[in-house]
Amino acid sequence: MAEPKWDGVIETVHYAPDARIDWVRAYERRGATYSDVVLLKREALIRKIQSGRKFASGRRVPNLAGTFTELEPVRLEGAGEAAYVVCGSSRNGHDDLGKIPVV
């Protein structure tokens, strides 16, 4: 089975004191390759996911450009203002990107 095409890969996350995502460090797909690292605020990430873009958590393989490992889908749970961002099978009721390194 073919590996899914991700629109972005999240590499690290920074949480605000209230345990919500403040920003993430990610790579976004630009055609056949990925961008340099970009910082996305929580609101921008949620807008991108709501618009249908597919994000995954993962680690970039050094010296191999757009190659990532340990990919898990990132999704929204809940709706409207109560929406939160989760990764994998997490169901904690708040933002939780699992094993993504925190900075």
pLDDT surpassing 90 at residue 46 = yes
pLDDT surpassing 60 at residue 28 = yes
Q: Strand runs (DSSP E) across 1-103, as ranges?
A: 8-15, 21-30, 33-34, 38-41, 55-60, 68-77, 84-87
pLDDT at 70: 80
pTM for the full model? 0.88
